Structure 1
Amino acid sequence: MSLFGQDRSFLHALPAGDRRALLDEGAPRTYEPGEIMIRERDTSAYVLALLSGWAVVSVGTERGARLILALRGAGEVVGDLAAVDRRPRSATVTALGRVEAVAISGDRFRRFLAARPHATSLILRQLATRLRSADVERRSLASETVLQRLAARLVELAERAGRHAESGTVLELPLPQHDLAAAIGATREAVAKALRLLREQGVVRTAHRTVIVVDMPVLVLLAQGRAHPGAHSSDKQPPAV
């Protein structure tokens, strides 16, 4: 399962000239932390090209909770699905921190894609990646424990948005516990219990909106379902052959 998009973002995969042409089609926008950039079920069709910062993509559930589907950062576009199929928004996009973006109307975005088959191919590949990720996510929710799903999320966040420090790998994205819970389809209480277990075993350390991964090898094994709580790096067993 993955919160992030492809390794190479849509904007960065475009030739420089096409990238400039797309950004010239829109107007700059700035969003403050917690501000809604796109709202689920809205009928607007503009696309946002993210220049800096992080945004959270989420959907509401029938129980009134929120499920986080993805994190989107600089170089990525959000809102492209509604621009392409002209249907209501499928998710809400919220600024995690301060976000700088360029807003492009749906009509202009569609014209841009129509004139550039390469860009259309990139969008199709992006949509396919998101579909595959959703399939993996459904399987994960059905078959993995909260601890395993949380470990997988923390590994991914450490690899994609972590900063190496003397104490371990510091997760740079300020996700509170309720957002971590929304990112793995669990309750806040269940995530708090799993984090407490990881802290007690010396796998992670936590502070206000901060998680430091102290023992990455064990966290990876927990994410893979190949270790149990209380394991240490020296306890790792070689994979079966």
Structure 2
Amino acid sequence: METNYMINRSIYYWSGVYRSNLQKRMAYRELRTVIAINILNFDLLNDTKRFHTSFHLYEDKDFFKLTNMMEFHFVEMPKLINEWKQGKLDPWNDLLARWLLLLGIVDSRTDTFYEDIYNELEAIAMKDDVLKSAFKNWDYLSATQEERLAYEARLKHVLDEEAAIREAELREKEALERGLQKGIQQGMKQGIEQGIEQGQLEKAKEIAQKMLKKGLDIESVMELTGLSSDAIEILKRNID
């Protein structure tokens, strides 16, 4: 039944997705292209030995394409495995073959595990980080419950260590930022205080100069302004 009605099913599901694109107040030209991709674990098309076929709508006599809105792809996994066995696939350079072979490592119908495919893809994964990540997830999903629990325990340990390192980095950063802020505040405070002191000193010198010009003696100027005798002597010489 799967073989007989798969094409009908694909068209049916495609039409539902295509119709759902049209919402209220939308024009038909706003409908988006829908591409149906069917990955099959059985042979469907007897007219070709190719594992990947694609279909569009074409005119019957002149064979020009009617539209790009409708597109169907069929990937027949048994044909893929046959091409692999015959050495016709190059997963090292063919990205599509690489990922389809990953899906075909296990044949659930015959309970077959293709170890040769696994080994080659594992070698490719050493140079393909995305495939390597997929392999890790694949291994996890394929593991027994005990293996998954052990994996999760190891993963938790690694994550805890990484989190502790990151926490230490954040604390160090925050401490540096607090120290910098404190230093800025302390510097501003000292600058203000020094500014006030400098302003007071300049004011005292200005008053002392006026006193000296009016003939007050050095002792009196020292008592009234708080300046040292040396400072007042310098001011007096400048006046003279």
TM-score, with length taken from structure 1: 0.21
Higher-Rg structure is 2
Structure with bigger helix share is 2
Structure with bigger strand share is 1
TM-score, with length taken from structure 2: 0.21
